[in-house]
Every structure is written in structure tokens, then in C-alpha cells.
Chains A and B, each alone.
Chain A
Amino acid sequence: MLQIDHISKSFPAGRGQHTMVLDDIVLNVDEGQSVGLVGESGSGKSTIIRCALGLTRPDSGRVSYSGIDVHRSSRFDTLRFRRDVQLVFQDPYASLNPRMTVEELVSEGLLVHKLETTAAGRRARVVEMLAMVGLGEEALTRYPRSFSGGQRQRIAIARAVVIRPKLLICDEPVSALDVSVQAQVINLLQDMQKQLGLGILFVAHDLAVVRHLCTTVAVLERGRIVEHGTREQVFDTPQHAYTQALLKAVPIPDPAVGRARRAERQLAP
């Protein structure tokens, strides 16, 4: 469905120098597939998202959606692309317009894409969508400020999913949430994916969340994908030294594991 085909991107770094931000990235997301893209800060995660959405043009290579080039498509294709591909951002405090009610926020996509032409029809779809994300009808007239972080992220997900996209790109969607609320949103994304057959491109620095949610995983190190495989391959038998180092450094909530690792590190030179 989404094909990122050998894209590279560099940005000017002053004095005629260039910094290579993405180097020959290849990544596909098929229908109903959940793909995780893991990387530390500065690894190029956000630039990949921007290229995938057609917001940043790669220097070379091609991004295509259903076979159509994202960066050279006609206007008609762009509108369809924007209906099929939706985004969920990291910070639900910044991504929802504070002056719009929940009903306005969630129904906006239906209006823009002319999917429901009557107000009653839109309301029915919004109510149905809110129920799916665990919010009641009383939420309709309220503003984002009266919701907690976890609830806001559900509203953001409802807003993205209400127009039935085929692909959801999630940029660190749970990293700003409290631990006890994170699990709710992770489970919601999992349910959405199963029920609606959504493809998900899940971009995050948290390896544990990616392991939980994605069946295919790519590891990004300074603009290069150094490892790409199934969840089991990447997490249980990582081949690349960088993946191995990352996995060893992820904190595990088990004191025995923590102590054993520290002892191992102290023995190493």
C-alpha cells in the first residue's frame, strides 16, 4: 500500500556542507499490517514521516501510495491520499484545536471529504466513533480542555479513524501519556487495527511499545535502516550490533534482569 522506495534526504548544514538525514530508506506498509519504526532522537524518524506524507520531497528515491507517486500526483490523488492516510501525533494537548468541540473535531474529516452530507448523518458517525474509543455522547459538546491526556489521545484517534483511512501513521502516540493510561491507548490501537483492517506505521523510540504493537519492525540508526524483519527476528535474534545495544539498554521491570545486566556491563572493559 505505502511504499518507501530507496529515499535519501540531506539538509544543508552551512558552509556548503550537507548533513545526510536519510540514507537509502526502504520501507513498505501493506494493508492491515502494523509496521514499527524504532529510532533514537535524531535518527530521522520524523523526516521519514514527512516524506511519506509528501510534505518533504526526498532528494532521490520515490514514495508511492497504491502505486501512485506521492510527490508527483495530481490534485485528485492528493485528496484521496489525505483521506486514506491519517495521522496521530505525540502530544494530544497540541494536536487538538482548543476552540473546537469534540463533535467539530471528530466530524471535520467527514465534512472535508464530503462523506456525510447531513448534520444528522455526521453526528451519528461521530457518536458511533466515540463509542468505539470509549467516550460517551456527552463528550460531543465539550472542549479538549476538559479531557485528560489519555482521553484527548482517544479523541485524536477518533478524529483520524472516523473517515475510515487505510493507513494510520502514529508518531509517538503514547509517549506523552501516563503509564496506567498508555495501555488503554495501545489496546485501542490494537483493536482498531484488527476490527477495521487498518495498516499502521508506528513510529516510536520505545522498543517495548513497538514490540507489543507491531508484527514487522525496522530499526533506524542515524538515517539508515540497520535491521528490518519480523518482530521475533528483530527482538529475539537481533543481528545488528546497534539493535543488540538498544535492546540491552531498554529497562526491563524485573530487578533480576537489571542486576544481571549491570554485572555483565561491569565485567566488560
Chain B
Amino acid sequence: MGVDTILTDGIVPAQVRRRPESLLQVDQLSIDIATRDANVRLVDNVSFGIGRGERVALVGESGSGKSVTAQALMRLNSRVKLSGRVQFDGTDLLSLSPRQMTAMRGQRMGMVFQDPMSSLDPLMTIGDQVAETLRIRGVSKREARQRALDVLDELKVERAAERLDSFPHEFSGGMRQRVVLAMALVGEPHLLIADEPTTALDVRVQERVLDLLDEISRRRSLAVLLITHDLGIVAGFADRVMVMYSGRIVEENEATLLFAEPQHPYTRGLLEAVPRADITVDRLRSISGAPPAPAARPSGCTFHPRCDHAMAVCTSVEPGETITPLGARVRCHLYGEG
């Protein structure tokens, strides 16, 4: 039933949809951290790809491993051990020397974080901070300043020319986040990783920042990996969505299909648990329990203690990946082989 209604809505099934040329390919990425007592696996065998100009969202709750994954792609966290393969534009990122990796950051890949104030140096002018990425690369002072100005204009920072010499504290939260975006975009990267970029902002400011990001990503064919816990902002922004739970990607699909026909019980649960400002419901469906800590992951499917559909097999066997008729890549025994 579900399949038919969706397909007649004019949505093309995944098999025949044209995929953009691959930009980033992550294969079986695992991330471990050594604690005093044990080795803890934060991210377990995660594989995904991002095409040129594609907007992909990685959704998860705290502790799901979404931010660690984002940092791993940029190799920002030296305390963790990475295994697997991360191919970016033909380069194997995990085999690069720290120096080569530094050249990648800012130039080919940019990143923004949640709290703009802690990403900015309070003692450095806006212009210098945005231009810094270019200056490090040997661009002349004058040209770097001009390009910083161009990006700030592109991000619609009003009177950007006058404000190049302002300091971060003179900016509002939304403006600071634009400055942080400018720092990430000035080197003209192909991929922008945005980790909860609008979480600290009020809704109207959030909307403006997301619109800007949408516009720039289209204009520049910039691929964006949006990391967030908020399914609402994902729906308006992403082409494709990956849902992460306890260190694994449990479902991935085109955004339209994922929201219309969520397959994994966790995805379904999440969508039913979010109150909506546009409709009134009597009662929210809640998921019992809480997400597990990485060091205390349940056996088998890590979601089974909270799942309404859990079967005997779920407690002991970790589900493999299945592609459903709707094109969802899902890890759940409900869709297992056979």
C-alpha cells in the first residue's frame, strides 16, 4: 500500500534515480577511544557516500556518534583511533600526513560548529579571522581581505566592508554564525560539514541561516553534511537523510521517502515523538528508555530494549544492511533476508 501511494506521487524509486558524482565515500569507518579501563567503540562500521553538490543530513541523539563521525572526516580529534576508509575526491584521507590533512581543511573541506562564539577569537577582527584561512595558504593580505569581504557579502552581512574591522562581540548570534560560515567557505571548499549550526539560534534566525546555506550550496554546487538532532530542519534542507543510533547508521533514504515511509522502528518512533507546531495531537508516542552509552551498548540490535517490534533474534544478532523496495538502506531484522 505504502509503496504504491508514494510512487504515484511522482517520486522516482532509488534504483532509477540518478546519483550525483561521488565526492566523499566512507567505507566501514569505525572510531574507537581508549579510556582508562577499556577500549570503547564510539562509531561502528559506518559506510556512506556524499555526491557533489548533495545535501545530506546525519541525524542522531546525543551520544549517537554523529559529531565524532563529522570530526573524524576532518581528522580533528587526535584522541580517537580511526579504521576503515575515507575517500575524498580521490584522496584517502586516513592515510594523509597531518600536514597534508591541514591543507585539506579549509581548502577542500570546511566545517562549522554549534556555538559561534567559541569558534571565534574574541581578540581578532572579523576580517582577519575570515581571511586567515587564505593567509595561511600564502594569499596576499590585500587579496585575502577582498575575498573575505566577498564571502561576507555573499552571506548577506550588511555593510560588510565597514564591519571587517569589528570584533565578534559586536555581532549578534546570527551574524556570528554567518562569520563562522564565511570562515569555512572562503577557501571555496567542495564539502561543508555543519555540526548543529543553528541549534543555538532563535527560530527566525535559524531559518535565515539555513536559507543562506541552501542558496550557497546550490550556487556553488557545494556538498553539505548537516549534523543535527532536529528532524524539522532536516526536512526543509536535506536531499538525503541518514539516521544514526548508538554508533551505527540504522536507516538511510531520500528525505521525502524517509519522512513519508520511515522503515526502521527507531526512525518511526522519532518522527512520532516530535510535537508539531502545525497540528494538534492528543498524545505523543514516546520511545521508552534512553539511548545507551557507547560503553554499555546492548547486544544484537542496539535498539532492541526500546523497540516495540523486538523479536528473539534482535537480542543476539546484529542486523545487517537491507535495501527495502522503497530504496531505504536499513539495519533491522524486520527487513532481513528471506
Residues of A with C-beta under 8 A to B286 = 180-181, 183-184, 186-187
Residues of chain B whose beta carbon lies under 8 Å from any beta carbon of chain A: 61-62, 202-204, 206-207, 211, 214, 229-237, 255-256, 259, 269-271, 273-278, 280-281, 283-288, 290-291, 306
Q: Are A182 and B273 in contact (CB under 8 A)?
A: yes
Please, which residues of chain B bring their CB within 8 A of the CB of A178? Answer: 61-62, 229, 290-291
B276:A180 contact, CB within 8 angstroms: no
Which residues in B have their C-beta under 8 angstroms from that of A231? 280
Cα distance, A101 to B285, chains bound together (Å): 31
What residues of chain A lie closer than 8 Å to B62, measured between beta carbons? 178
Of residues A151, A184, A255, which shows the largest number of chain B Cβ atoms within 10 Å of its Cβ? A255
Q: Is the CB of A179 within 8 A of B274?
A: yes
Given contacts A187-B283, A211-B277, A255-B235, 9 further A-B contacts (CB under 8 A): A178-B62, A246-B204, A251-B232, A252-B276, A253-B231, A255-B256, A256-B256, A258-B235, A259-B236
Check A187–B284 contact: CB distance below 8 A. Answer: yes
B273 pairs with A207, CB closer than 8 A: no
Which A positions have Cβ atoms within 8 angstroms of B?
40-41, 148-151, 178-184, 186-187, 190, 205, 207-209, 211-212, 231-232, 235, 245-259, 261-262, 265
In the bound complex, how far is the Cα of B233 from the Cα of A183, in angstroms?
18
The answer on a CB contact under 8 Å between B214 and A262 is yes
Question: Chain A residue with minimal CB distance to B214?
Answer: A262
Judging by beta carbons under 8 Å apart, are A212 and B275 in contact? yes
Whether A205 lies near B202 (C-beta < 8 A) is yes
Q: In the complex the two chains form, is B229's CB within 8 Å of A179's CB?
A: yes
Contact, CB under 8 Å: A250 / B232: yes
CA–CA, A40 and B234, complex, Å: 21
The 8 A-B residue pairs whose C-beta atoms are closest, nearest first, are A258-B236, A251-B232, A183-B286, A183-B273, A212-B275, A178-B61, A40-B202, A183-B284
Contacts of A205 in B (CB 8 A): 202-203
Give the complex CA separation of A246 and B62 in angstroms: 27
Known: A190-B283, A246-B203, A253-B232. A179 touches B275 (CB 8 A): no
Chain A residues near B207: list those with CB within 8 A: 248-249, 251
Chain A nearest CB, measured from B243 CB (Å): 11
Question: Within the complex, what minimum Cβ distance (angstroms) separates A154 from chain B?
Answer: 11
Say whether, besides A179-B231, A180-B290, A257 and B280 are in contact (CB < 8 Å). no
Residue of A nearest to B288 (CB): A184
Contact assessment for B233 and A251 in the assembled complex, using a CB-CB cutoff below 8 Å: yes
Q: A254 to chain B: which residues have CB within 8 Å?
A: 235, 259
A153 to chain B: closest CB distance in Å? 11
- Residue on A nearest B203 in the bound complex, by CB: A249
Rounded to whole angstroms, the CA-CA distance of A257 and B285 in the bound complex is 22
Cα(A265)–Cα(B55), bound, Å: 20
- Please name all residues of chain A whose beta carbon is closer than 8 Å to the beta carbon of B202 when the two chains form the complex: 40-41, 205
Q: List the B residue with the shortest CB-CB distance to A134.
A: B288
**Chain B residue nearest to A149 in the complex (CB):** B290
Q: How far is B62's CA from A184's CA once the two chains are assembled, in angstroms?
A: 16
**Given contacts A208-B276, A258-B236, A251 and B230 within 8 Å (CB-CB):** yes
Q: Point out which of B211, B274, B281 has the most chain A C-beta atoms below 10 A from its C-beta.
A: B274
B-side contacts of A182, CB under 8 Å = 273-274
**A255 contacts B236, C-beta separation under 8 Å:** yes
Q: How far is the CA of A259 from the CA of B235 in the complex (A)?
A: 8
Is the beta-carbon distance between A211 and B280 smaller than 8 angstroms?
yes
**B274 cross-chain contacts in A, Cβ below 8 A:** 179, 182-183, 208, 253
Q: Are B259 and A247 in contact (CB under 8 A)?
A: no
B259 contacts A255, C-beta separation under 8 Å: yes
14 CB < 8 A contacts A-B: A178-B290, A179-B270, A180-B273, A181-B286, A205-B203, A212-B280, A235-B278, A247-B277, A251-B203, A251-B236, A252-B276, A254-B259, A256-B256, A257-B236
